[in-house]
């Protein structure tokens, strides 16, 4: 069982991992090399595709033969395949590492199995140390690797009683400027943003990420539209800096696989209740972001429609992972219970 010291060092490895690129194709991984007497002799993290993996980066800081008999603390199971770089398992074995402690198991079909190979080579291996924390940190990458589809986040803004518009259909603005600015920042942190054709035809959104002055942010999400209806040539989406992707929306799981093949790893859904409810009903939502305004509207303009829940026993329970005040509003971040 991992010692308290090793758990502390795993948190240090997680801090190192956060230095890596947040939206790269590879996971953000950190590694700490510890001598038999408990001294840190090397630290490293993965800096992006084609660069040394965290284990190799950490080993490069050690003196010749200093890692022999040492322990490697790494946030993700060492890889066991050759891509742009060689297997981390080989580097650890060549360095004479005696013990490897890792958090999350590598879900990749080609890259997994590093822990098993290390054990078979006589290395003392322990996995699952702070696994839930590291899995949460890896979020988008882990979802994509495990499920071969983008990590899906749905977002809506509503009154306290769950209404997204007043009885006459007006909805600008339920939440305040701070919430809207925060939502635009979230847009910029995702590979793509999605709505349904109904929203396009009714609201004519631009689906860009902008600052409070209306200027485009440096990072823009790819606009995605679900549905078969034609998008007008004059729609503001046609002026988006990135090319539009339209999928028919009949098979959401297949659509997500297609988007993954197009390089989309994180999808931010801002569609209306029809599209959002379809994703919830299909069990394809990985996280929720809900902006709640301290206002009451009443009426039937609700955030969700039918999600396949007939009784309270069937309620889709969520776990609140964060509550942040955005001006006068509250932003809730949630995940499906059990994930």
Q: What is the pLDDT of residues 202-260, one digit of tens each?
A: 889 999 999 988 899 999 999 999 999 999 988 999 999 999 999 999 999 999 999 99
Q: Compute the average pLDDT of residues 14-43.
A: 91
Query: Which residues share a beta bridge with 247?
Result: 226
Query: Which residues share a beta bridge with 100?
Result: 72, 125
In terms of phi and psi (left: phi > 0; alpha: psi -120 to 50; beta: otherwise), the region of 122 is left
pLDDT digits (tens, 9 = 90+) for 70-105: 999 999 999 887 666 678 999 999 999 999 999 999
Pair of tokens at residue 171: 């909805």
Q: Compute the average pLDDT of residues 16-26.
A: 85
Q: State yes or no: 277 annotated in a binding site.
A: yes
Cβ atoms 220, 226 nearer than 8 A: no
The CATH code that applies to domain 4-143 is 3.40.140.10
| Helix ranges, the chain (H) | 4-17, 54-59, 88-95, 114-120, 131-147, 177-188, 197-203, 252-261, 273-281
Asked whether residue 196 carries a pLDDT value surpassing 70, the answer given is yes
Q: State yes or no: 274 annotated in a binding site.
A: yes
| Residues annotated catalytic, as ranges | 55
DSSP assignment letter at 77:
P
Q: Report the pLDDT value the prediction gives residue 202, as an integer from 0 to 100.
A: 87
> Cα dist. 112→89, 90, 105, 118, 185 in Å?
11, 14, 8, 12, 34
Cβ atoms 33, 59 nearer than 8 A: yes
The CATH code that applies to domain 148-336 is 3.40.430.10
Q: State yes or no: 322 annotated in a binding site.
A: no
Q: Which of 85, 23, 36, 2 is nearest to 13 (CA)?
A: 2
Label residue 330 by pLDDT band (50, 70, 90).
very high
The ranges assigned to domains in the chain are 4-143, 148-336
């Amino acid at each position: 069982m991992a010692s308290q010291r090793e758990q502390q060092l795993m948190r240090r490895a997680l801090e190192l991992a956060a230095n890596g690129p947040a939206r790269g194709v590879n996971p953000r991984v950190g590694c700490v090399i510890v001598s038999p007497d408990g001294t840190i002799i090397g630290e490293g993290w993965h800096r992006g595709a084609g660069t040394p993996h965290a284990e190799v980066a950490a080993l490069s800081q050690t003196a010749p033969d200093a890692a022999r008999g040492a322990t490697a603390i790494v946030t993700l199971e060492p890889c066991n395949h050759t891509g742009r770089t060689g297997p981390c398992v080989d580097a650890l074995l060549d360095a004479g590492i005696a013990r490897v402690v890792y958090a999350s198991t590598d879900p990749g079909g080609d890259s997994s199995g590093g822990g098993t190979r290390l054990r078979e080579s006589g290395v003392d291996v322990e996995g699952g140390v702070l696994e839930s924390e590291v899995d949460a940190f890896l979020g988008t990458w882990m979802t994509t690797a495990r499920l071969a589809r983008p990590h899906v986040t749905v977002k809506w803004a509503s009154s306290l009683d769950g209404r997204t518009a007043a009885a006459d259909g007006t909805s600008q603005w339920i939440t305040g400027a701070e919430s809207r600015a925060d939502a635009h920042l979230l847009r910029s942190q995702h590979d793509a943003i999605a709505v349904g054709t109904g929203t396009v035809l009714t609201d004519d959104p631009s689906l860009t990420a902008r600052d409070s002055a209306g200027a485009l942010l440096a990072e823009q999400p790819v606009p995605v539209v679900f549905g078969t209806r034609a998008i007008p040539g004059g729609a503001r989406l046609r002026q988006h800096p990135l090319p539009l992707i339209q999928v028919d929306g009949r098979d959401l799981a297949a659509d997500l696989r297609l988007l993954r093949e197009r390089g989309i790893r994180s999808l931010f859904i801002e569609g209306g209740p029809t599209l959002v409810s379809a994703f919830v009903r299909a069990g394809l939502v990985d996280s929720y972001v809900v902006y709640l305004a301290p206002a009451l509207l009443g009426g039937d303009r609700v955030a969700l429609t039918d999600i396949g829940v007939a009784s309270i026993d069937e309620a889709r329970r969520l776990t609140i992972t964060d509550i942040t005040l955005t001006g006068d509003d509250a932003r809730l971040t949630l995940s499906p219970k059990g994930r």
